Chain A
Amino acid sequence: EDKVVQSPLSLVVHEGDTVTLNCSYEVTNFRSLLWYKQEKKAPTFLFMLTSSGIEKKSGRLSSILDKKELFSILNITATQTGDSAIYLCARGGSNYKLTFGKGTLLTVNP
């Protein structure tokens, strides 16, 4: 069974804090690891990672993949209330479908 496990399941921080979200996955036929942000509606794409050790950055968000230890992290620095959302991790394999984790609910308080 394909499994993607995210931790923590929920997190409450104050504005300005730095957070690290974790995602571990199973290796079978691995092709990609993706991060999405979901607010009220549909998930929006953040990052797609295929190579180990190469950090991807977008503003205050960054992510990296470790294919040896089978995990990825998503970092958010200087958090803002607009970062409050569910962050979803997904694994892409040799078939077309993505397998999603349960998500991390991040709440950033002012």
Chain B
Amino acid sequence: SQTIHQWPATLVQPVGSPLSLECTVEGTSNPNLYWYRQAAGRGLQLLFYSVGIGQISSEVPQNLSASRPQDRQFILSSKKLLLSDSGFYLCAWNRRPGDGYTFGSGTRLTVV
């Protein structure tokens, strides 16, 4: 069966520090991978998605970046965090257009 792992679960980082959040999927190959951010417990904003190794599409210009170094690994990074980067970050995957997502357990990031 397929599983998705996301870590860490919570993170408190000072403004200006770097960020690295990791997401891995097991039990499938060539998944489509997504990073979403949810602010104030409301709607999900798509940040990045990837349909293959090294292929990253950015939805919202900001100081975050994403990479996909391996087929089932998706990393969200920042060189210098801003206060506005605080939020709940979710990784997700699916296989085909229109399919629902399976979500990771999320990372609650607080930038102080």
Contacts and interface: CB of A to CB of B under 8 A. Distances in A.
Interface in B89-112: 90, 94, 96-106
Interface residues of A, number: 26
Interface in A46-102: 48, 50, 86, 88, 90, 92-102
Contacts of A88: 43-44
Contacts, number: 61
Contacts of B101: 43, 45, 98
B99 A100 contact: no
Interface of A: 31-32, 34, 41-45, 48, 50, 86, 88, 90, 92-103, 105
B74 interface: no
B49 A48 contact: no
Nearest to B95: A96
B51 A41 contact: no
